[in-house]
Amino acid sequence: MTANEWLPLAVLGSSLAPGLIIFALPEKRIRQRTALNLFGALAKLALVATLLAGVAAGEEYAFRYAVLPGIDLAFKADALALLFVTLSAALWLLTTLYAIGYLEAAPHRSRFFGFFSLCVTATMGIAMAANLFTFFVFYELLTLATFPLVVHRGTPQAMRGGTIYLAYTLIGGTLLLTGIVWLFQLLGHGEFAHGGVLASLDGAPQWQLQAIFLLLIAGVGVKAAIVPLHGWLPQAMVAPAPVSALLHAVAVVKAGAFGVVRIVYEVYGVEFAAALDLLTPLAIVAAVTILWGSLRALFQDDLKKRLAFSTVSQVSYIILGVALLGPLGTIGGLAHLVHQGIMKITLFFCAGNYAETLGIHKISEMDGAGRRMPWTTLAFSIAALGMMGVPLTAGAISKAWLTDGAAAAGMDWAIWVLWTSSLLNAAYFLPILWRAWRKPLPAAWPDEQIPARGRRETAWLLLLPPLVSATAVLGAGIFADASWSPLAWAQLIAEREYPRMPR
Amino acid sequence: MLLLTQFVALPLFLYARAYFAAGSAYFWPLAGFLLAGLNALFLSADLFNLYVTLELLGLAAVGLVAAGGGAQQVAAALRYLFATLVGSGIYLLGVALIHGAYGTVSIEMLTPLVHVDAPRAVWFAAGLMLIGLMLKTALFPFHYWLPPAHGGAPAPVSALLSALVVKASFYLILRLWLGPFAALTTAAAWLPAIMGSAAILWGSWRAIRALRLKELVAYSTVAQLGYLFLIFPLLGADQLALQAGGMQVVAHGLAKAAMFAAAGVVIQVTGRDAVADVAGIASRLPVTLFAFGLAGITLMGLPPSGGFLAKWLLIDAALVRGRWELVTVILAGGLLAAVYVFRVLRQAFLPPPSGERRRVARRPVAMLEWTAFALAAASVLVGLRGMEIVRLLGAGA
């Protein structure tokens, strides 16, 4: 095996191995567990950095292993895969730190961290899958590994959320499987390739290809929480905060959105998909999801549920970007994949901090929270402004490219959708900020757990991760032109996807 | 098949040693007979020898069920005895008719002799033999004897029966179907498929409704056996269906053995057998629960397990022939399996009811837990070694 073969495997292994060892560790070995977790996360980041440098220089990393005749378990670490891998690896490190602080003294931590590592492994597998078979294997693994995390607390609501989550995702998986096997049947393989693989297929009736597209998109759309398949996401918010933060803001929903990207660009090919009249319906579904998610968010009093509906809305920005024909929309959508991740994880970290420190779960309880926890609220504000697309934040960049992309594709209605959504975002985020900063402190907090000590408003392990990710939100916005920004990487991907299109 | 038998039997014997710590005088000799019967069956080359091994197998299995000793178990064993005797009786009748028509019972010699224009007695004989074997395989609607027998027997026995014994008669059906009776059966291929579909749906439904843990696992066997019969209309030159069947036999054999073994541990530790009583084992028996979960993954046909590969091949084979109704059944069966497996897992994560803690629970025996785990892990890892199994099947077919 050459280095180019084992590097993708090592990326998988750097979270799989700690995960498996952690299962075997007794509950009380906190120190070993923490060390293993951090070692895995750091090792993964180092490996990913190597891959990034290599791919930027034009190297190709791939690994292949035959499971059945004609069916391979195949990985490739191309530019698109690395966009998602880097995001997940970086946020895994932050979330691990956060989870160590959050779950201090909670029961069943071995189980929690074990499944947590498995989830990250599954996400990596999804990102690096080089064919639909591999994608499906890890897609289902992600479903299975998240279930124990959703029901972690074992309360009746947790059980209910978990059951709903399973019902949605398993049915989605079944649809996906049907689509994949059908495609294998027509094509003889399910490889991902730049520019799509279906265009070369002659003789298959158009309706079959359209039906397969519907099955595949419905399958991944469940995880991407496309309306009307989004019902599980707000219910799954009963999970502990680090789970909501990493999985439901980043890994699971992004796995779905990432699947849409792969299917549109590398299975169908964006031009072939447009020729089959598939992109416009997809754009409309995305637009409906954006507006519906924002509208529902407006009426939630539970902070995490409001954030969840906001996720429903924001993830479809990515899908909208994909559905806009042309490189500008692609760049906007892919950049938003990263931008939405860092913004939403910040918001969930902060929501977790409010809940753990002061017992705040509802927006109506947030009066004066900014005075008691200024740093947390600062991070929250930056991310919330980013969601609205305020200049200097990451959100502004993705929104600008998406709007340009919509204009270039001649879909002016999409611009209106984006602007309406920004207004709705403002309508549901600004009141929270106003309450937190301007309203006077209440007489007592709902359930104060961690008393303030001097400047320290909460445990430092809880405070550090949101501050880092909020800084990243600003960084990605201000330095969007730098060669290492998510935007620049998205441009690199679009360049490889649209080789013939001028920019 | 021989390989699978030994692979499943070895850990189960280790398991049984620990399970019957106090010693059950009947278990060992009977299990020995059972294993001998199985091995002989897989190696036999003529119809009458097969009858002998079938009887040996059936009687040893009945004895094992009855070895539990309780009134319920004896009743289940009698029912099982009845089913197995009727099954072998019908089979023997068929063999006799064949002998009358052709004067031989060697599979090899019969294969070129049987044609579509064979005398009516041969058609009748083929039908009788296949029905007799289906009765022993507990194909729907002949499944009635299986849940009480498998659900009532001690855990290691259930595991042996579900994982291996029913597979033996399936193996025979497949062998006869592809061998001597190939010319006769192509027209009737839809029949086993319909019965198989009904088995999947009905077995899963009963598993979802089952109150007792082992009853649930036993009905799941009924459902999983249904998948095996779906392959009959799909058999063809491309080997896909055969590979699917082989994979399903291996994956289900390992997974079901693991599941019964895990259920046995749970019952031994909590002292109860109701699905509702597994609450709280997530923290008390993590290894066992993990084994149950892994086996469940195989049964649901989720990747990367052997069950997933079997299902993939099966769907592939069904699509090649445009049999969408079978695809629907297969997918629906997977979802139903998810319902009954997660019914147990979900319960296991719940905190045990208060008061439960006070009852002194027996400590689990490590050997029991880990053999269950090893079987379950094997059923999943088989999914990554699909190449070898396909190659082995290719050599055998």
What does the DSSP assignment read for A302-341? BHHHHHHHHHHHHHHHHHHHHHSSSHHHHHHHHHHHHHHH
Averaged pLDDT, B129-134 = 85
Give the contacts of B88 (CB within 8 A, at least 6 positions apart).
Answer: B51, B54, B55, B58, B132, B136
Averaged pLDDT, A293-298 = 91
A178 touches chain B (CB under 8 A): yes
Residue B360 confidence (pLDDT) = 45
B112 and B197 both lie in a single domain: no
In terms of pLDDT, which residue wins out, A26 or A489?
A489
Dihedral of alpha carbons A336, A337, A340, A342, sign: negative
B341 touches chain A (CB under 8 A): no
Averaged pLDDT, B14-42 = 66
A159 touches chain B (CB under 8 A): yes
B162 and B201 both lie in a single domain: no
CB distance A67–B384 less than 8 Å?
yes
Hey, how many other C-beta atoms are within 10 angstroms of the C-beta on B339? 17
Question: To the nearest whole number, what is the mean pLDDT of chain A?
Answer: 86
B150 and B37 both lie in a single domain: yes
Choose the mutation target among A25, A27, A65, A68 for the interface with B, i.e. most B CBs under 10 Å: A68
Let me know if A56 is exposed, middle or buried by CB neighbors in 10 A (0-12, 13-18, 19+). middle
B173 and B290 both lie in a single domain: no
The range of the structural domain enclosing residue B221 comes to: 190-397
B204 and B317 both lie in a single domain: yes
Give the contacts of A313 (CB within 8 A, at least 6 positions apart).
Answer: A289, A290, A291, A292, A293, A294, A297, A421, A424, A425
Percent of chain B whose pLDDT exceeds 70: 85
User: Mind telling me how many Å the CA of A240 is from chain B's nearest CA?
Assistant: 15
pLDDT tens for B353-390 read: 655 544 445 566 677 778 888 888 888 887 777 777 77
How far is residue A194's CA from residue B105's CA, in Å, rounded to a whole number? 60
Predicted confidence (pLDDT) at residue B310 exceeds the cutoff of 90: no
CB distance B316–A181 less than 8 Å?
yes
Give the DSSP letter string of A69-126. Answer: TTEEEEEE--HHHHHHHHHHHHHHHHHHHHHHHHTTT-S-HHHHHHHHHHHHHHHHHH
Averaged pLDDT, B332-355 = 80
CA R_g for chain B: 20
Give the contacts of B9 (CB within 8 A, at least 6 positions apart).
Answer: B35, B160, B164
The winner for highest mean pLDDT among A29-38, A339-348, B315-324 is: A339-348
Checking phi first, is residue B362 left (phi over 0); if not, alpha (psi -120 to 50) or beta?
beta
Dihedral of alpha carbons B197, B202, B203, B208, sign: positive
Span of A314-318, A398-402, B247-251, B358-362 with lowest mean pLDDT: B358-362
Where are the extended beta strands (E) located within B291-389? none
CB distance B320–A185 less than 8 Å?
yes
**Residue-level length of chain B:** 397
Under 8 Å between Cβ of A233 and A312: yes
User: Mind telling me how many Å the CA of B180 is from chain A's nearest CA?
Assistant: 29
Interface of A with B in 91-120 (CB under 8 A): 107-108, 111
Q: What is the 3-state secondary structure (H, E, C) of A116-162?
A: HHHHHHHHHHHHHECEHHHHHHHHHHHHHHHHHHHCCCCCHHHHHHH
CB distance B302–A173 less than 8 Å?
yes
Residue A67 confidence (pLDDT) = 78
Percent of chain B whose pLDDT exceeds 90: 0
Averaged pLDDT, A111-139 = 90
B322 and B249 both lie in a single domain: yes
Residue A486, preceding peptide bond in cis (omega within 30° of 0) = no
Q: Which residue has the tokens 């960049």?
A: A397
Hey, how many other C-beta atoms are within 10 angstroms of the C-beta on B307? 32
A144 touches chain B (CB under 8 A): yes
- Facing residue for A170 by CB, picked from B290, B335, B349: B335
User: Mind telling me how many Å the CA of A350 is from chain B's nearest CA?
Assistant: 28
Checking phi first, is residue B322 left (phi over 0); if not, alpha (psi -120 to 50) or beta?
left
Residue that terminates a domain, selected from B164, B188, B212: B188
- Facing residue for A171 by CB, picked from B319, B335, B346: B335
Predicted confidence (pLDDT) at residue A379 exceeds the cutoff of 90: yes
pLDDT tens for A456-495 read: 777 888 888 898 999 988 888 888 888 778 888 888 888 7
Under 8 Å between Cβ of B367 and B15: yes
The DSSP H or E segment spanning A62 is strand A62-68
Residue that terminates a domain, selected from B146, B161, B188: B188
B172 and B273 both lie in a single domain: no
Predicted confidence (pLDDT) at residue B6 exceeds the cutoff of 70: no
Pairs across A and B, CB distance < 8 A: 73
Residue A480 confidence (pLDDT) = 81
CA R_g for chain A: 22
Does the interface ipTM go beyond 0.90?
no
CB distance A177–B349 less than 8 Å?
no
B112 and B241 both lie in a single domain: no
Residue that terminates a domain, selected from B153, B188, B223: B188
CB contacts of B313 in chain A (<8 Å) are 68
Across A306-322, b (16+ Cβ under 10 Å) vs e yields: bbbbbbbbbbbbbbbbb
B335 touches chain A (CB under 8 A): yes
CB contacts of B386 in chain A (<8 Å) are 67-68, 71
Instruction: Find the helix packing angle between B306-320 and B240-270, rounded to 10°.
Output: 150
How far is residue B169's CA from residue B84's CA, in Å, rounded to a whole number? 11
Residue A429 confidence (pLDDT) = 92
Residue A502 confidence (pLDDT) = 43
B10 and B135 both lie in a single domain: yes
In terms of pLDDT, which residue wins out, A27 or B288?
B288
Interface of B with A in 214-273 (CB under 8 A): 243
Residue B361 confidence (pLDDT) = 53
Give the contacts of A134 (CB within 8 A, at least 6 positions apart).
Answer: A72, A73, A74, A75, A125
From A135, which residue of chain B is nearest by alpha-carbon distance?
Answer: B303
Q: Work out the pLDDT band at B23, boundaries 50, 70, 90.
A: very low
How far is residue B240's CA from residue B50's CA, in Å, rounded to a whole number? 27
CB distance B309–A68 less than 8 Å?
yes
B113 and B198 both lie in a single domain: no
Predicted confidence (pLDDT) at residue A380 exceeds the cutoff of 90: yes
B317 and B231 both lie in a single domain: yes
Predicted confidence (pLDDT) at residue B9 exceeds the cutoff of 70: no
Choose the mutation target among A140, A141, A189 for the interface with B, i.e. most B CBs under 10 Å: A140
User: Mind telling me how many Å the CA of A157 is from chain B's nearest CA?
Assistant: 11
Residue B11 confidence (pLDDT) = 60
Domain tally, chain B = 2
Residue B4 confidence (pLDDT) = 59
Three-class secondary structure of residue A63 per DSSP = strand
Report DSSP state, residue B163: I
Report DSSP state, residue B274: B
Q: Work out the pLDDT band at B352, boundaries 50, 70, 90.
A: low
CB contacts of A162 in chain B (<8 Å) are 346
B233 and B182 both lie in a single domain: no
**CA angle (B68, B71, B74) in 5-degree steps:** 60
